[in-house]
Amino acid sequence: MKIETKYNIGDKVWVVYENQGEVCVYDTEITDIFIDKDGINYYGKEGTDYLEDLLISYNEKDKLLERILSIMNEIHKREKGADNIE
C-alpha cells in the first residue's frame, strides 16, 4: 500500500501557530511521519509532532506571510472584542 502525504521525510517546513496572543514561527525538518485516527502527524528534528495544518513548505513564502497575517488579524479581533466587554 502506498500512502501519500503533503510533506516527506527530509522536507524543510515552517511551523506557524498562535501562543497566548503571539504568532510563533520557526523552521524545522521533517524526520518522521505517523498516521493515526486523528490524521497525519509530522515530527520535526526537535522531536515535536505537528498536524499538517500548522506546517507550510519552506519555499512558500507567500503562504507563510498570509498565515502570519491571518493569525494576527484573529488576535486583533479578539483583543478588540475584549476591549468592548465591561
Q: Is residue 2 part of a domain?
A: no
CB under 8 Å to 11, separation ≥6 — which residues? 29, 30, 57, 58
Residue 52: CATH number of its domain: 2.30.30
10-residue block means of pLDDT along the chain (86 residues)? 89 96 96 89 94 94 97 92 60
In a domain, 7, yes or no: no
| Within a domain: 64 | yes
Q: Rounded to 5 degrees, what are φ and ψ at 75?
A: -60, -45
Whole-number pLDDT of residue 61:
96
Distance CA 28, CA 23 (A): 16
Q: What is the pTM of this model?
A: 0.84
pLDDT given for residue 41 in this prediction: 94
Structural domain for 77, as ranges: 12-83
Domain count, the chain: 1
Residue 20 domain flag: yes
User: Does residue 5 form part of some domain?
Assistant: no
C-alpha cell at 75: 488576535
Confidence (pLDDT) at 67 = 97
